[in-house]
């Protein structure tokens, strides 16, 4: 009886592994657009480590083993750097890296919007752009969160790359700050930057003068709240 249960468990594990590999091939396989697979892969790696992280990490590592090129090398280097790191430790590093330093935030509007009202307007404009192209970020994810922008770029390459290019200075500053912090996440952001250079959106070197980070008082609007805030000049109470 116990042996039968073990066989069933092993069979289920094989199905899960094979399904994960099939999904990885669809997202980052040879048929995928070269820049789109970088954007999709980077989105998977830049999202907060949670209970889905082990599967995300395994899928991406497997897919990257079949890829060649500087972007794939950078992404694979990140995967290797995080292999074996306990989930709790990785989650704590994520918070320290992205949530506690303004120059390492993943919220792109924070680099370019000069104040709370401007940030609301920028988020609302970005969300409207998504809607025009039939894209909806993951539940609860602000439209300027870099993984959301990368998902958009993977699904709507031309429009998405234009959004990324419009935030090029922010990406440059983020990459420099992560490198100074000696974070393995720097490789992920650098891989994204390299796709913009290949597409003719400017050099890979950071700008001489980076973007000015605007004040960040008040809660960040999420989803529909961004649209309402832009219309009223502030968040809903």
- Domain limits of the chain? 2-232
pLDDT band at 78 (very low <50, low <70, confident <90, very high): very high
**pLDDT given at position 34:** 83
Query: Does position 47 have pLDDT exceeding 60, yes or no?
Result: yes
**pLDDT given at position 26:** 52
pLDDT band at 3 (very low <50, low <70, confident <90, very high): low
96-104 contacts at long range (C-beta below 8 A, 24 or more positions apart): 97/178, 97/181, 97/183, 97/185, 98/185, 101/177, 101/181, 102/213, 102/216, 103/173, 103/174, 103/177, 103/213, 104/174, 104/177, 104/178, 104/181, 104/183
For the chain, list the strands marked E by DSSP.
none
Percentage of the residues of the chain whose pLDDT score is greater than 70:
68
Helices (H), 95-167: 109-112, 116-132, 146-155, 157-166
SS3 of 223, please? Answer: coil
Query: Does position 168 have pLDDT exceeding 50, yes or no?
Result: yes
pLDDT band at 32 (very low <50, low <70, confident <90, very high): low
SS3 of 181, please? Answer: coil
* C-beta of residue 104 within 8 angstroms of C-beta of residue 178: yes
Query: Does position 215 have pLDDT exceeding 90, yes or no?
Result: no
CA distance 176 to 211: 12
């Amino acid at each position: 009886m116990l042996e039968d249960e073990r066989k069933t468990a092993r069979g289920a594990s094989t199905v899960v592994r094979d399904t994960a590999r099939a999904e990885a091939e669809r997202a980052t396989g040879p048929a995928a657009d070269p820049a789109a697979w970088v954007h999709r892969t980077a989105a998977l790696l830049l999202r907060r480590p949670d209970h889905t992280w082990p599967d995300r990490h395994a899928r991406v590592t497997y897919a990257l083993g079949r890829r060649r090129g500087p972007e794939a090398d950078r992404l694979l280097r990140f995967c290797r750097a995080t292999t074996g790191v306990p989930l709790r430790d990785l989650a704590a590093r994520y918070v320290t890296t992205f949530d506690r330093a303004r120059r390492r935030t993943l919220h792109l509007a924070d680099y370019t919007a000069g104040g709370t009202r401007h940030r609301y307007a920028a988020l609302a404009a970005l969300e409207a752009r998504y809607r025009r192209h039939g894209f909806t970020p993951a539940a609860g994810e602000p439209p300027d969160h870099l993984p959301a922008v990368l998902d958009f770029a993977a699904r709507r390459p031309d429009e998405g790359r234009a959004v990324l290019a419009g935030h090029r200075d922010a990406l440059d500053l983020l990459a420099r700050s992560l490198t100074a912090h000696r974070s393995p996440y720097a490789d992920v952001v650098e891989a994204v930057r390299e796709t913009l250079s290949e597409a003719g959106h400017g050099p890979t070197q950071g700008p001489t003068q980076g973007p000015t980070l605007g004040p960040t008082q008040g809660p960040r609007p999420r989803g529909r709240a961004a649209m309402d805030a832009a219309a009223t000049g502030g968040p809903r109470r």
